[in-house]
């Protein structure tokens, strides 16, 4: 690989306003990044011109319409699969990705699929149906229903044989083993498929237990996916009582079913992921609520403790203190139990991560996967550290709170035979002139309390 021009150190020019000039290579790199990412898979319709079918087996031509043109290439491997003879002037539908050729600073479309445009073209039928249903409002985003908060049973219309259902079940089993699954076996290819899919959608709608409905099929050609572009299928999905999920083909395939369904997943296993995600989101939400609950109780407790601290010199709050301690213990106890739950969940997350890691390794993915795994590992580690740290902090807080409460002990004073005197409003009486003869006072002793009436002073002890 040649060295890309990423080292601009000394050569870089600094323009006014701290802007730096790009090198041509850098600019081209960026254009390449944008173009090849944004247009890695496009359909384009146009007319062939300047066709050159070279002896190497590659085809070169331009695709044009009345206002623009783009260079196109069909490499030998793709050209071999094209069973018809293209000619200059023919209208075609090409599918491919934009490639930038840096040395010449131009771009072209690298064509994978080339179809003659004629009557009955599937793509045209697709567009027409799409437009018709869009006009009827079948794709209306406002009509999209969310998947259930916590799905209990998923109905799946798909072929019971083959890899797709296995892929789906593998995801469900791994991450949501207690989800019910009801499969309606249907052909997903060929002339009977659309009818069977419609029957499946309707049949599953009659099961009260089913609360999310997925139609699924693996990747294939436009013809293979055709049943999912059927109008009857679209209408069956649109009238489904149960929220629908369309998981058909590969990421780049779009079918009418995708547009009508409440949710479109790029692939069948991604569809399954979406369903299990609901459960994991819920678990996270409950955890978050539990943490907030914990924090709120703790703050409430701390506030009371602060009040006790503030009037500590009065030594009045012995009863409150005892109660507070009980409360603190209850919070401590409950949060310990909550913590056990959180720890278990952390362990489960760790287990999931471990299994995920194994799976990734089993697939022997490339460096991209390794990098992603590292990131997930890091995230999970940070998350569990953060959670553990927070729990530790909470427990330390609580221990401190209880310790502080121990230290105030006004009870000891009462035990020595002292008493606390309150007036009728509950104010602590510290000077004789706070009460008058005839007032009722409350006297709190080490054990129990007395209610008394003040008699005129005179034989005061002084």
Closest residue by Cα to residue 179 from 148, 200, 204, 139: 148
Is there binding between residue 293 and another protein (CB under 8 A)? yes
* Most distant CA atoms of the chain, gap in Å: 130
Q: Which of 116, 185, 220, 356 binds another protein (CB under 8 A)?
A: 185
Is there binding between residue 182 and another protein (CB under 8 A)? yes
Is there a contact between 345 and 352 (Cβ–Cβ < 8 Å)? Answer: no
Q: How far is the CB of 388 from another protein (least distance, A)?
A: 19
Residues 402, 403, 408, 411, Cα dihedral to 10°: 70
Closest residue by Cα to residue 39 from 94, 93, 97, 95: 97
- Rg (Cα) of the chain, in Å, rounded? 37
Q: How far is the CB of 151 from another protein (least distance, A)?
A: 10
The Cα angle at residue 300 between residues 294 and 301, in degrees rounded to 5: 90
Backbone torsion region of residue 254, taken as left when φ is above 0, otherwise alpha when ψ lies between -120 and 50, otherwise beta: beta
- C-beta of 188 vs 301, nearer to another protein: 301
Q: Give residues 321-350 in contact with another protein (rule: CB under 8 A).
A: 323-324, 327, 330-331, 334, 337-338, 341, 345
- C-beta of 114 vs 316, nearer to another protein: 316
- C-beta of 76 vs 337, nearer to another protein: 337
Go through 115-126 and write b for each residue having 16 or more CB atoms within 10 A of its CB, e for each that does not: beeeeebeeeeb
Q: Which of 3, 52, 178, 407 binds another protein (CB under 8 A)?
A: 178
Question: Residues 14-53: x/- map of binding to another protein (CB under 8 A)?
Answer: ----------------------------------------
Q: How far is the CB of 447 from another protein (least distance, A)?
A: 23
Q: How far is CA 11 from CA 7, 23, 36, 284, in A?
A: 9, 9, 28, 51
Q: How far is the CB of 64 from another protein (least distance, A)?
A: 49
Is there a contact between 112 and 95 (Cβ–Cβ < 8 Å)? Answer: yes
Q: Which of 80, 241, 292, 314 binds another protein (CB under 8 A)?
A: 292
Q: Which of 61, 108, 138, 196 binds another protein (CB under 8 A)?
A: 196
- C-beta of 196 vs 273, nearer to another protein: 196
Q: By CB under 8 A, which span of 2-10, 86-94, 256-264, 301-309 interacts with another protein? A: 301-309
Is there binding between residue 407 and another protein (CB under 8 A)? no
Q: By CB under 8 A, which span of 107-115, 256-264, 299-307, 421-429 interacts with another protein? A: 299-307
Is there binding between residue 169 and another protein (CB under 8 A)? yes
Q: For 188, phi and psi rounded to 5 degrees?
A: -120, 20
Question: Residues 272-291: x/- map of binding to another protein (CB under 8 A)?
Answer: -------x--xx-xx--xx-
End-to-end CA distance of the chain: 104
Q: Which of 92, 222, 247, 301 binds another protein (CB under 8 A)?
A: 301
d(CA 241, CA 186): 20
Q: How far is the CB of 333 from another protein (least distance, A)?
A: 10
Other C-beta atoms within 10 Å of 394: how many?
A: 19
Question: Residues 126-165: x/- map of binding to another protein (CB under 8 A)?
Answer: -----------------------xx-x-------x-----
Is there a contact between 308 and 317 (Cβ–Cβ < 8 Å)? Answer: yes
d(CA 254, CA 234): 13
d(CA 79, CA 118): 20
d(CA 186, CA 195): 9
List residues near another protein by CB under 8 A. Answer: 149-150, 152, 160, 166, 169-170, 173, 176-185, 196, 199, 203, 279, 282-283, 285-286, 289-290, 292-293, 296-297, 299-301, 303-304, 323-324, 327, 330-331, 334, 337-338, 341, 345
């Amino acid at each position: 690989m040649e060295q890309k021009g990423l080292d601009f150190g000394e050569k870089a020019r600094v323009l006014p306003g701290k802007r730096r000039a790009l090198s041509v290579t850098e600019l081209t790199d960026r254009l390449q990044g944008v173009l090849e990412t944004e247009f890695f898979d496009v359909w384009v319709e146009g007319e062939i011109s300047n066709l050159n079918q070279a002896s190497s087996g590659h085809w070169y031509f331009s695709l044009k319409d009345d206002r623009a043109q783009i260079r196109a290439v069909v490499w030998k491997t793709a050209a071999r699969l094209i069973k018809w003879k293209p000619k200059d002037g023919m209208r075609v539908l090409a599918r491919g990705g934009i490639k930038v050729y840096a040395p010449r600073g131009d771009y072209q479309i690298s064509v994978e699929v080339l179809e003659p445009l004629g009557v009955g073209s599937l793509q045209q039928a697709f567009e027409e149906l799409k437009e018709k249903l869009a006009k009827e409002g079948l794709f209306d985003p406002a009509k999209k229903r969310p998947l259930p908060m916590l799905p209990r049973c998923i109905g799946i219309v798909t072929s019971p044989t083959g890899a797709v259902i296995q892929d789906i079940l593998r995801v469900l089993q791994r991450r949501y083993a207690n989800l019910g699954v009801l499969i309606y076996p249907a052909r997903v290819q060929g002339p009977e498929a659309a009818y069977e899919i419609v029957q499946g959608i309707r049949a599953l709608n009659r099961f009260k237990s089913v609360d999310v409905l997925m139609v699924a099929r693996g990747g294939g050609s436009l013809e293979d996916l055709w049943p999912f572009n059927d109008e009857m299928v679209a209408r069956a999905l649109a009238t489904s009582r149960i929220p629908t999920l369309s998981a058909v083909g590969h990421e780049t395939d779009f079918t009418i079913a995708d547009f009508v369904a409440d949710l479109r997943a790029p692939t069948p296993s991604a569809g399954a992921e979406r369903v299990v995600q609901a459960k994991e989101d819920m678990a996270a939400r409950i955890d978050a609520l539990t943490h907030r609950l914990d924090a709120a109780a703790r703050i409430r407790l701390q506030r009371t403790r602060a009040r006790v601290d503030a009037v500590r010199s009065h030594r009045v709050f012995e009863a409150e203190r005892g109660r507070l301690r009980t409360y603190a213990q209850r919070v401590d106890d409950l949060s310990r139990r909550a913590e056990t739950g959180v720890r278990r969940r952390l362990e489960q997350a760790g287990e999931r991560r471990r299994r995920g890691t194994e799976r990734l390794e089993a697939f022997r993915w490339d460096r991209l996967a390794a990098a992603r795994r590292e990131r997930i590992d890091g995230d999970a580690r940070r998350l569990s550290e953060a959670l553990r740290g927070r729990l530790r902090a909470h427990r330390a807080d609580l221990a401190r709170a209880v310790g502080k409460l121990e230290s105030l002990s006004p009870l000891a004073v009462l035990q020595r035979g002292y008493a606390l005197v309150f007036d009728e409003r509950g104010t602590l009486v510290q000077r004789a002139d706070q009460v008058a003869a005839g007032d009722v006072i409350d006297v709190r002793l080490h054990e129990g309390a007395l209610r008394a009436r003040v008699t005129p002073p005179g034989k005061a002890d002084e």
